[in-house]
A and B are shown apart, each in its own frame.
Chain A
Amino acid sequence: MVAHARRDHPDEACGILAGPEGSDEPQRIIEMLNAARSPTYYQFDATEWNVVYREMSGKDEEPVVIYHSHTATEPYPSRTDIARAGEYAQFLAPPHYVLIGTRDPDRHELRSYRILDGEVTEEPVEVVPG
């Protein structure tokens, strides 16, 4: 996720950590195109998202984490992030939202949140061996 965010800087990068449905266990990364190609906004490419979702669905997987980068600001969910998370949760199980901050070229920031009913709660991140 950090490497992807660095590669796409100064545009925002976005993607998925997929895992078995209901497991809450992220197992593999799927780097998505940012169709907005913007330093302040990200949007999954609609066609790619359909292909990736069908592949996950066929394996009984779901997005456990949805990540994106903030390239000039704090890695904290923006008002837009919170609004879109609310809409997403009407369709698919609310994921963990990981934000990667790349404003400092030498030191990345990586933080994880739940966004439920418009309320943001930060959660600890534990890195385990793959």
Chain B
Amino acid sequence: MAVTVSIPTILRTHTGGEKQVSAQGATLAEVIDHLEANHGGLKSRLVKEGTLHRFVNVYVNDEDVRFSGGLAASIADGDNVTILPAVAGG
């Protein structure tokens, strides 16, 4: 499954400045592993101890993956994956 991943500004240091990169995988976890293989350093920004960081939002198309299985979320060919920080405060 080939997907397009939108990379937020600061993480573009890991993608040579590219705003969007392609990756492969049947689940979000596989996509992130594939990203890490080509753009080392990304995975640790997204995943901690086998789950997504609490303050990172990852979307597959329009869906926040927290509601579709997290790292186990299934990925279809042509999906768009977006990475954003959660925005919150007190």
Indicate whether A81 reaches chain B with its CB closer than 8 angstroms.
Answer: yes
Q: Show 10 A/B contacts (Cβ-Cβ < 8 Å), sorted by A.
A: A41-B88, A49-B87, A78-B90, A80-B88, A80-B90, A84-B55, A88-B87, A90-B85, A91-B85, A93-B9
Q: How many residues of A contact B (CB 8 A)?
A: 34
Contact B84 A43 (CB under 8 A): no
Contact B59 A41 (CB under 8 A): no
Partner of A42, one of B19, B66, B89: B89
Partner of B59, one of A21, A50, A85, A92: A50
Contact B87 A14 (CB under 8 A): yes
B5-63 contacts to A (CB < 8 Å): 6, 8-11, 19, 45, 53, 55-57, 59, 62
How many contacts between A and B, using CB within 8 angstroms? 86
| Size class of the B contact interface (CB-based, 8 Å) | 20 to 34
A47 to B65, CA, bound (A): 10
Residues of A within 8 A of B55 (CB): 84, 87-88
Bitwise, A71-108 to B at CB < 8 A (1) or not (0) is 00000011111001101111111000000000000000
Partner of B88, one of A44, A51, A89: A44
Indicate whether A54 reaches chain B with its CB closer than 8 angstroms.
Answer: yes
